[in-house]
Amino acid sequence: MDNTTGLRENKKLRTRRRLADTALELFLEQGFDAVSVADVAAAAEVSKPTLFRYFPTKEDLVLERFADHQDEAARIVRERPAGQGPVGALREHFLAALDRRDPITGLCDHPAVLAFERLVFSTASLESRLARYTAREVELLAAALEAESAPPLTARLAALHLVTVRRELGRENWRRIEAGRSADEVHPAAVADATSAFGMLAGGLDEVLPVGPGAAPAAPTG
């Protein structure tokens, strides 16, 4: 990549970030439904066609933050050490993220994070659009499992279970904090829930999925 191309890409990234930040500020101040795409474009000093080149829908202005996490589960599975199953790798990653109070786990009580999550989970069109991001996460994880010789249906069913567990654990943590508890107060229950939820999956999925990149499936444990 030459300098000109690099500068152009950096400019696009800055514009994209400015649009998303401007939109989120307006949505939080006035409500998602009360702000139009034209309002966002005007506030960011770009045209509507320019805005749509970066974000196909109004909802994507908010949810683009989830786009960075769509390949997270697949990456964790691909990069796990030999001898470790996908369930164990995702469980370890989730538990470590809880310890960091990573917002993606729902265990974060920073006011800005709570305001963002409240906006998403209280707006029907955002919830609906978020389902598309989740579907992509499932698709990528299934592809990673299938690349390790898991049968296509097995890979997809496993991906659906694993992505759903991660998502629902995050929702439950957010609900507890939204009810007024701190992240530190919720942490022990969040760890227990994650350990239990991934444990339920491990009992079945670890018998049919590879235990490490290029490895054979684990032997039945029951």
What's the pLDDT score for residue 128?
A: 92
Would you give the distance in Å from CA 189 to the centre of its chain?
21
What's the pLDDT score for residue 106?
A: 96
Q: pLDDT tens digits, residue range 120-138?
A: 999 999 999 999 999 999 9
- b/e string for 182-207 if b means 16 or more Cβ within 10 A? ebeebbeebeebbeebbeebbeebbe
Least confident of 4-13, 31-40, 102-111, 185-194: 4-13
Rg for the chain, CA atoms, rounded: 20
Q: What is the C-alpha separation between 75 and 154, in angstroms, rounded? A: 18
Closest CA to 158 of 215, 89, 107: 89
- Spatial CB neighbours of 198, under 8 Å, sequence gap ≥ 6: 87, 88, 90, 91, 94, 165
CA angle at 191 for the pair 177 and 186, rounded to the nearest 5°: 25
Enumerate the β-bridge partners of residue 217: 210
CA angle at 121 for the pair 173 and 31, rounded to the nearest 5°: 135
Per the CB < 8 A criterion, the answer to whether 174 and 183 are in contact is: no
Amino acid at 166: R
**Res. 217: pLDDT tops 90:** no
What is the pLDDT averaged over residues 158-183? Answer: 96
Give percent above pLDDT 90 in the chain.
79
Q: What is the C-alpha separation between 3 and 9, in angstroms, rounded? A: 10
Q: What is the C-alpha separation between 11 and 9, in angstroms, rounded? A: 5
Q: pLDDT tens digits, residue range 51-65?
A: 999 999 999 999 988
pLDDT band at 220 (very low <50, low <70, confident <90, very high): very low
